[in-house]
């Protein structure tokens, strides 16, 4: 396994609903308590970066902490951690929220007719 693939699996495991089970699928001998602690730290650091980088998110949290916590949990599960600075985390969160507000249009089920062959026999 390449290192980049391992890192992607590790990042996904830290965002999983059950990070211990996700990590045991990668490496069966992991320490459960260590995995739980690491997953909590990853989530906490993302939350802190978001609060420092986004006044809108902070205001939303102040207005309705329970609702914001549900939104953040969904964001954390769906969006891989790629931000290092608070402004970058805020940008990722804003893009995620925008996608939630306006989901992509439903694809049409109309099937286009097959094209005639470009080659036509010459007479």
Within 10 Å of residue 64's Cβ, how many Cβ atoms?
11
Return the pLDDT at 79: 94
Give the position of tokens 């396994």.
1
83/91 Cα distance (integer angstroms): 9
Which tens digits make up the pLDDT trace of 4-59?
Answer: 998 999 999 999 999 999 999 999 999 999 999 999 999 999 999 999 999 999 99
**Domain annotation covers residue 120:** no
Cite the DSSP H helix spans in 1-123: 3-15, 19-26, 32-53, 55-63, 65-78, 86-101
Work out how many domains the chain is built from and give that number. 1
Give the position of tokens 């990070």.
19
Q: What is the mean pLDDT of the chain?
A: 89
For residue 17, give its domain range. 3-101
**Domain annotation covers residue 31:** yes
16/73 Cα distance (integer angstroms): 10
Please say whether the beta carbons of 19 and 36 come within 8 A. yes
pTM (2 d.p.): 0.76
**Domain annotation covers residue 121:** no
Query: What are φ and ψ of residue 14, in 5° steps?
Result: -70, -20
**Domain annotation covers residue 9:** yes
**Domain annotation covers residue 123:** no
């Amino acid at each position: 396994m390449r290192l980049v693939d391992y890192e992607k699996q590790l990042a996904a495991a830290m965002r999983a609903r059950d990070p211990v089970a996700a990590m045991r699928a990668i490496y069966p001998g992991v320490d459960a308590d260590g995995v739980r602690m690491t997953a909590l730290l990853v989530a906490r650091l993302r939350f802190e970066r978001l609060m420092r980088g986004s006044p809108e998110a902070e205001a939303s949290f102040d207005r309705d902490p329970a609702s914001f916590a549900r939104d953040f949990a969904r964001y954390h599960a769906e969006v891989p951690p790629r931000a290092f600075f608070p402004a970058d985390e805020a940008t990722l969160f804003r893009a995620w929220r925008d996608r939630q507000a306006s989901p992509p249009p439903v694809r049409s089920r109309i099937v286009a007719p097959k094209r005639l062959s470009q080659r036509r026999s010459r007479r």
